[in-house]
């Protein structure tokens, strides 16, 4: 399975720094046998693309989207707008949006469907909080979030969804989830995918891990069965570090 490696800058880097990041990243040696994407703030997409020129690696990704094509939704951006711009990947349901912006499972599901219709790969984030894990609710939370997000998705659409397991307590905390613990959740996600879309998709769906991934621990995740890539926040802000993570994940 080709590894899926995605940088999420979150709310960092306006156009000037975005352009510089892309140019620096392009100077790095990058693996060919992996899908590499960078999720940049909407306002920096144009600068990122200008710096990319004709290069297709990294793919341009957005961090969020609205589910409608157009309309009176002040401040929002639609899947067709992203498609017109050449964005091929978009994160949905990031825990920061769920918890800070009150995004619901239903909204995440609508976004994923709308993206796929526009030919954009949705990267659907799911994950439990520390309190939920301690109460033994991890599976329930993952199930609720995942089923709401994938039930109306086409399993074999032209833009097959990627699922990102991002335990909230591991995000930006410097306390990554142990690979074997992540694997357990990934296995559970596979089971749910198989029940929802059919057994074929158990192994065909890419399930990636996110939460305090860096250049030192990437190797452990990539040698763990069932982890098909990573979603990297803080460590992706330095293009050389993210390139190193990519090379470790999928040797050039
Ligand atoms: P960190 O890598 O900074 O923990 O962030 C993970 C994340 O939220 C990526 O989407």
CB-based contacts of 161: which residues, under 8 Å, 6+ apart? 112, 116, 121, 122, 123, 124, 150, 153, 205
Residue 53 vs residues 19, 23, 119: alpha-carbon distances, Å: 11, 10, 22
- The pLDDT assigned to 1 comes to 87
Residue nearest to atom 9 of ligand 1 (CA): 233
Which of 90, 127, 169, 172 most suits a substitution to test ligand 1, by most atoms within 8 Å of the C-beta?
Answer: 172
Q: CB–CB of 157/79 below 8 Å?
A: no
CATH, residue 47: 3.20.20.70
Residue 166 catalytic? yes
For residue 35, the SS3 value is strand
Mean pLDDT of 128-148: 97
With a Cβ cut-off of 6 Å, ligand 1 is lined by: 8, 94, 166, 171-172, 210-213, 231-235
Residue 30 vs residues 34, 155, 207, 209, 251: alpha-carbon distances, Å: 9, 30, 21, 20, 8
Ligand 1 atom nearest residue 176's Cα: 4
Residue 40 pLDDT more than 90?
Answer: yes
Which of 12, 166, 209, 236 most suits a substitution to test ligand 1, by most atoms within 8 Å of the C-beta?
Answer: 166
Residue nearest to atom 7 of ligand 1 (CA): 233
CA distance 16 to 10: 16
- The pLDDT assigned to 157 comes to 76
Whether the bond into 58 is cis, omega within 30 of 0:
yes
Q: Which one is catalytic: 94, 103, 186, 215?
A: 94
Residue 156 pLDDT more than 80?
Answer: no
H or E stretch at 231: strand 229-232
By residue range, what is the domain housing residue 106? 3-249
CA distance 219 to 211: 14
Quick one: CA torsion of 113, 45, 58, 52, rounded to 10 degrees?
140
| Domain count within the chain | 1
Residue 42 catalytic? no
Angle between helices 45-52 and 15-26 (to 10 degrees): 30
Q: DSSP states of 111-173 as a string?
A: HHHHHHHTT-EEEEEE---HHHHHTT-HHHHHHHHHHHHHTTS-TT-SS--EEEE--GGGTTS
pLDDT for 14-32, tens place per residue?
A: 999 999 999 999 999 999 9
Q: Which one is catalytic: 96, 103, 166, 215?
A: 166
pLDDT for 98-111, tens place per residue?
A: 999 999 999 999 99
What is the rounded average pLDDT for all residues in the chain? 96
> What predicted TM-score, i.e. pTM, was given to this entire model?
0.97
Residue nearest to atom 1 of ligand 1 (CA): 233
CA distance 242 to 12: 15
pLDDT for 173-220, tens place per residue?
A: 999 999 999 999 999 999 999 999 999 999 999 999 999 999 999 999
Closest CA relative to residue 58, chosen from 43, 39, 38: 38
The structure tokens listed for 93 are: 């349901």
* CA 206 / ligand 1 centre spacing (Å): 18
């Amino acid at each position: 399975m080709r590894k899926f490696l995605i940088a999420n800058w979150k709310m960092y880097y306006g156009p000037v720094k975005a352009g510089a990041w892309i140019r620096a990243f392009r100077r790095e040696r990058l693996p060919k046998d992996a899908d590499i994407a960078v999720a940049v703030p909407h306002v920096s997409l144009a600068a990122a693309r200008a710096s990319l020129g004709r290069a297709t690696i990294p793919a341009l990704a957005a961090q969020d989207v609205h589910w409608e094509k157009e309309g009176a939704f002040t401040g929002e951006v639609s899947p067709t707008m992203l498609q017109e711009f050449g964005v091929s990947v978009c994160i949905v349901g990031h825990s920061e949006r769920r918890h800070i912006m009150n995004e619901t499972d239903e909204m995440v599901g609508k976004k994923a469907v709308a993206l796929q219709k526009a030919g954009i790969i949705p990267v659907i984030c799911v994950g439990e909080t520390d309190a939920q894990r301690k109460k033994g609710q991890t599976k329930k939370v993952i199930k609720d979030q995942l089923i709401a997000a994938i039930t109306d998705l086409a399993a074999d659409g032209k833009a097959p969804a990627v699922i990102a397991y991002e335990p909230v307590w591991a995000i930006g905390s410097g306390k990554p989830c142990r690979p074997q613990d992540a694997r357990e959740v990934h296995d559970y996600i596979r089971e749910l995918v198989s029940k929802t879309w059919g057994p074929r998709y158990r192994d065909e769906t890419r399930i990636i891990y996110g939460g305090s991934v860096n250049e030192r621990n990437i190797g452990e995740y990539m040698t763990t069965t069932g982890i098909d890539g990573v979603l990297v926040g803080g460590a992706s802000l330095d293009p050389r570090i993210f390139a190193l993570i990519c090379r470790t994940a999928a040797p050039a």
